[in-house]
Structure 1
Amino acid sequence: MTHINLLYASTEGNTKSFVEKLKKVAIEQGDTLNARLIGDETEYANETEPFFALVPTYLTGGTGTGPEVTEIFTNALGEYIDFGNNARHLKGVVGSGNRNFNVQFNLTAIRYAKKFNVPMIAAYELRGSVFDAEIIYNKIKRNIGEQ
């Protein structure tokens, strides 16, 4: 039995919907998945166990990936990870977005992985499928022991 901790941001419900799919996969595999939504109202806490982050991509400004592109709506999760020693417990990042945005698809998760020096485990589009959830859950599970 595996226990996985997950922190996520969800503004339109897409990531929350995907987390529910991940929970079903965990139950099917006899595992536990503890997922917590991190938003602007979340009080900072010191994480003491390994966790993974799921972050959607919401950007403003520019047309590519340069410095004029700014993260919006997901900053609370990044700030939470930055708090205290929380980043030390981050084991990997899963991202999402809309493929219609081309080079900006999944950009927030790519930036998190680089900033916190952890693997970018996977990406899915919008709410993701059950198939995406199965693949990504197993990738998360494999990354628990690799850190």
Structure 2
Amino acid sequence: MNKNIYILYISLTGNTKSFVHRLTAYLASHDVTVHAINVKETPDMQKLSQPFVTILPAFLDGGNGRVNGYHEILSPILSHWLGYAGNYQRCYGIIGSGNRNFNRQFALTAKQYAKRFGFPYLTDFELRGSQNDIERIASLLMEKAKEQN
């Protein structure tokens, strides 16, 4: 199995960053090294050479997610990173997050990215994620890492 997992993500409120840090620690306990880039903290785009997963919270412009509220705000830098040098071609999937109180807007931005860039929407978690989410997503990523070999 590939002992490295590469993650490209954005965290604006700290929830996704917390999730990635906890996921990294959990995977380290299984002898898997996570290489994560928070695009908010790394504004200089680079070509990514390894297959990676993207994690993206939902940031939309309000509304109800049906009639309006589909316009993405705050995270376009992640879209630019994916487009840069064809990085999206090495992305094997996206994981969405958000607040379930926002109903249909929950994880909607990640679903929009999956459609826009043509990679699969893998799963989602709420806010900072539970321990069950960490274990479930770690298992999914370890399986996806095997497929990349």
Q: How many residues align?
A: 147
Change (3 A) 1:35 1:41: closer
Does the aligned pair in 1 maintain the 2:62–2:68 contact within 8 Å?
no
Tell me whether 1:22 sits opposite 2:23 in the alignment.
yes
Aligned-pair Cα RMSD in Å:
1.7
Q: 2:85 is paired with a residue of what secondary structure? A: coil
Change (3 A) 1:66 1:112: farther
5+ residue gaps in structure 1? none
Aligned to 2:115: 114
TM-score (norm 2): 0.91
Change (3 A) 1:111 1:146: farther
5+ residue gaps in structure 2? none
Q: Aligned equivalents of 1:59 and 1:65: distance in 2?
A: 12
TM-score (norm 1): 0.92
The CA deviation at 1:69 is: 2.1
The CA deviation at 1:64 is: 1.8
Identical positions, percent: 37
Deviations 1:46-78 (A, max 9, x none): 111111100000110432245762111111111
Aligned to 2:78: 77
Q: Aligned equivalents of 1:9 and 1:99: distance in 2?
A: 19
Does the aligned pair in 2 maintain the 1:5–1:34 contact within 8 Å?
yes
Q: Aligned equivalents of 1:52 and 1:104: distance in 2?
A: 21
Q: Which amino acid aligns with 2:58?
A: T
Does the aligned pair in 1 maintain the 2:60–2:69 contact within 8 Å?
no
Does the aligned pair in 2 maintain the 1:57–1:107 contact within 8 Å?
yes
